[in-house]
Amino acid sequence: MNIDIKTLFNRQKGYLKRRQIPDRKTYIHLLKMVKSGEVERLKRGVYCDHSKTSNVMIDIDKIVTNGVLCMYSAWFHYQLSTQIPQSFHIAIEKNRKTVLPDYPSISLYYWQQKYHELGVVRQVINGYTVNIYDLEKSVCDAVKYRTKIGIEASSEILRNYLKRRDRDISKLIKYAQKMRVEKILKTYLDIQL
């Protein structure tokens, strides 16, 4: 990898836009790297270095004010799912309008205020302080949206949660009651335990 391009990728935390490439010679070298598979072209004018993207995070507060990392992003962060999210999954309050940039890829979820505010914690992830749902709320989301994500995915998330030492079953059931999935969760727990 050309040191100039490597430096550029490092400065931009693994992603480069065409306008960030200083000259034509560097751009041509980047295109050769795309052809060889060292770099991936995500979409027109946006490239990523695979060695840097495994722990990339965005400043959610700047892009989606009051947004909360949820669903696949939270499950992946807590190592509840082996599925790597293809975009940042962010929950916002229902009926709120927001304008998203073309990049990075963001999937929005519109939730009622009582569900949106339940279980929100602030965590530092890869240098950014972000809002994310706590472990138990993330598991309850998997149960609540089991038909959308698939029964196998929600079972995997619950199985991985139950293996953790830091789990809090009473908190999980309390969230399940508030989210109206307590009966379904207890059925899952009976099967898993």
Tokens standing for residue 92: 């916002």
In this structure, are 32 and 114 located in the same domain? no
Please check whether residues 44 and 19 belong to one and the same domain: yes
Both 75 and 7 in a single domain?
no
Judge if 114 and 184 occupy the same domain: yes
- 149 lies in the same domain as 80: yes
Please give the structure tokens belonging to residue 95.
Answer: 């009926």
Domain count, the chain: 2
CB 176 within 8 A of CB 185: yes
In this structure, the answer to whether residues 93 and 159 fall within a common structural domain is: yes
Neighbours of 190 (CB within 10 A): 8
Residues 107 and 181 in one domain: yes
- Token pair 């309008």: residue: 97
Q: What domain range includes position 160?
A: 60-192
124 with 182, same domain? yes
Full DSSP string of 95-159:
T------SSS-EEEEEE-HHHHSTTEEEEEETTEEEEEE-HHHHHHHHHHTHHHH-HHHHHHHHH
Residues 8 and 87 in one domain: no
Kindly report, residue by residue over 150-184, the tens digit of the pLDDT: 999 999 999 999 999 999 999 999 999 999 999 99
Q: Is the pLDDT reported for residue 53 higher than 60?
A: no
Cα separation, 118 vs 164, in Å, equals 21
The answer to whether residues 107 and 35 belong to one domain is: no
Residues 74 and 44 in one domain: no
Tell me the pLDDT tens digit for each residue of 71-118: 999 999 999 998 888 899 999 999 998 888 777 789 999 999 999 999
What's the pLDDT band for 52 if we cut at 50, 70, 90? low
* End-of-domain residue from the set 16, 34, 53: 53
**Is there a cis peptide before residue 101, judged by omega within 30 degrees of 0?**
no
* Residue among 49, 36, 53, 56 at smallest CA distance from 8: 49
Structure pTM? 0.71
Nearest to 81 by CA among 168, 117, 171, 89: 89
Same domain flag for 124 and 89 = yes
